[in-house]
Amino acid sequence: MIPSGFSFSTANADIDGSSSARDDIGLIYCSTQASLCGVFTKNRVKAAPVLIGMDLVKRGTIRAVLINSGNANACTGEAGVNDARTMMEAIGSRLGIDADEVIPLSTGVIGVRLPVDRILTRLDSLVGSLGDNVEALARAMMTTDTYPKVVSRGVGRASVLGIAKGAGMIAPNMATTLAIVITDAIIERTDLDRTIRDAVKSTFNAITVDGDTSTNDTLLALSSNMVKADLDGVRNTIVEVIRELAMMVVRDGEGASKLIRIDVRGCATEDDAKKVGKTVAESLLVKTAVYGSDPNWGRIMAAIGYSGADIDPADISIHISGHPVVEGGVEAGEFKEGVVKSALEGKEVSIDISTGTGKGAFTIWTTDLTHKYIDINSEYRS
């Protein structure tokens, strides 16, 4: 279900110079002024499209999103900003809108200038082929993703559509994720903004694959405000779509063979729970133990211990996929190694950690660390 007012197209600009047949640029167009909100990477090193996007979000409305994969346009200095502006102007003039009504999104290799000339030759085709092929757009955004990520939900007569890319460098603070949420529901821009900011806390900022935070992370929300719908319903649907996109991204974590959900509770503060969850989620020893279906709970204990959270080891209890593993900081009486090993062999593993009687809790999702992750990230691409 495509939200009213929006259309999509893709083209092949051979951005990475590999002569691949894959489309690598994409356009989202709105037939009316769409309200625009955004959340951007907290990395100090921000890509050119992020610097431009942060400015455009202050304007508050937009007509088009121009996306490319294969090149992040990051660490390219003033030249990179000018490259992005050249494309914004070129697509704007073809669409009959201002350059500042086009927001750019880029993902891919860092430090290489965009092949602007090649992109410019494809813009007519992009504008000429606008239609409803959202999946093609999601594919054109992909880098190491293994599948396109599209979520669609209705809410009354309105609809919410989510599109994302991301598979590596995923970490709290939204590393190399590009996500776009589009709706035709009437919603105040301040409501839309608050909704996406709340949503990312427990979704895109609660997933981690390798702890690396990217230069390009962006989540945009656009509304054409064409359809009246229940506001609470719209808000909830947006949160749900964002959550679903985040889960699709973490499931597609580079080389991942298992999805790991880590629930932490009983901490003095939510911040402590977050520290515990993030440290366990990013421990290479925990991730490799899960990969190897090794019920080595000592690695989880060690990670909790160095998380920086204010905890007493004697208060810790741990369950793996529902099975007791640690009680009072030592091996649980009911611990059955074979049972836990079998549980770890599943595609989805949960680690429940209680560190006491406090009210601080946090849930984080991650993946195991596999040989394939090393393959993907150590392969030299000239």
Using the rule CB under 8 A, is 330 a contact of a copy of itself?
yes
Selected from 42, 59, 157, 201, the binder of a copy of itself by CB under 8 A is 42
Question: x/- binding map, residues 353-382, to a copy of itself, per CB under 8 A?
Answer: ----------------xxx-xxx-xxxxxx
CB contact set of 98 (below 8 Å; sequence gap of 6+): 63, 92
Site residues (CB under 8 A) for a copy of itself, limited to 95-134: 109-112
Q: Toward a copy of itself, which CB reaches closer, 77 or 322?
A: 77
Selected from 8, 29, 40, 291, the binder of a copy of itself by CB under 8 A is 291
| Contact call for residues 18 and 4 (beta carbons, < 8 A) | no
Selected from 36, 170, 320, 326, the binder of a copy of itself by CB under 8 A is 326
Which residue from 224, 220, 232 is spatially nearest to 191, judged by alpha carbons?
232
Residue indicated by tokens 């992005």: 84
The CA distance from 325 to 169, in Å, is 31
Using the rule CB under 8 A, is 168 a contact of a copy of itself?
yes
State the minimum distance, in angstroms, from the CB of residue 113 to a copy of itself: 9
Q: Toward a copy of itself, which CB reaches closer, 65 or 209?
A: 209
Name residue 138's amino acid: A
Site residues (CB under 8 A) for a copy of itself, limited to 254-283: 282-283
Residue indicated by tokens 């063979």: 257
Beta strands in 215-369 (DSSP E): 218-227, 259-267, 317-320, 323-327, 330-331, 348-354, 360-367
Using the rule CB under 8 A, is 320 a contact of a copy of itself?
no
Using the rule CB under 8 A, is 284 a contact of a copy of itself?
yes
Using the rule CB under 8 A, is 231 a contact of a copy of itself?
no
Which residue from 219, 27, 65, 249 is spatially nearest to 147, judged by alpha carbons?
249
Question: x/- binding map, residues 79-98, to a copy of itself, per CB under 8 A?
Answer: x-------------------
Beta strands in 138-258 (DSSP E): 149-155, 158-165, 178-185, 207-208, 218-227
State the minimum distance, in angstroms, from the CB of residue 88 to a copy of itself: 21
CB contact set of 59 (below 8 Å; sequence gap of 6+): 36, 100
Site residues (CB under 8 A) for a copy of itself, limited to 136-165: none
Secondary structure (3-state) at 39: strand
Site residues (CB under 8 A) for a copy of itself, limited to 183-212: 210-212
Reply yes or no on whether 86 is catalytic: no
The CA distance from 269 to 282, in Å, is 20
Using the rule CB under 8 A, is 250 a contact of a copy of itself?
no
Residue 270, token pair as written in the block: 């939510």
With contacts defined by CB under 8 A, name the span among 93-101, 124-132, 149-157, 213-221 that binds a copy of itself. Answer: 213-221
Using the rule CB under 8 A, is 292 a contact of a copy of itself?
yes
Selected from 303, 320, 340, 351, the binder of a copy of itself by CB under 8 A is 303
Using the rule CB under 8 A, is 228 a contact of a copy of itself?
no
Q: Toward a copy of itself, which CB reaches closer, 123 or 290?
A: 290
Looking at residue 213, the DSSP 8-state letter turns out to be -
Selected from 84, 158, 238, 289, the binder of a copy of itself by CB under 8 A is 289
| Contact call for residues 167 and 148 (beta carbons, < 8 A) | no
Residue 253, token pair as written in the block: 């974590």
With contacts defined by CB under 8 A, name the span among 93-101, 121-129, 138-146, 304-312 that binds a copy of itself. Answer: 304-312
Using the rule CB under 8 A, is 240 a contact of a copy of itself?
no
* 240-to-153, 160, 166, 217, 247 alpha-carbon distances in Å: 9, 10, 18, 20, 11
* 36-to-18, 86, 125, 220 alpha-carbon distances in Å: 34, 21, 26, 7
> C-alpha angle 51/40/351, rounded to 5°?
150
Active-site entry in 107, 143, 176, 367:
176
Q: Toward a copy of itself, which CB reaches closer, 231 or 285?
A: 285
Q: What positions carry a catalytic annotation?
A: 176
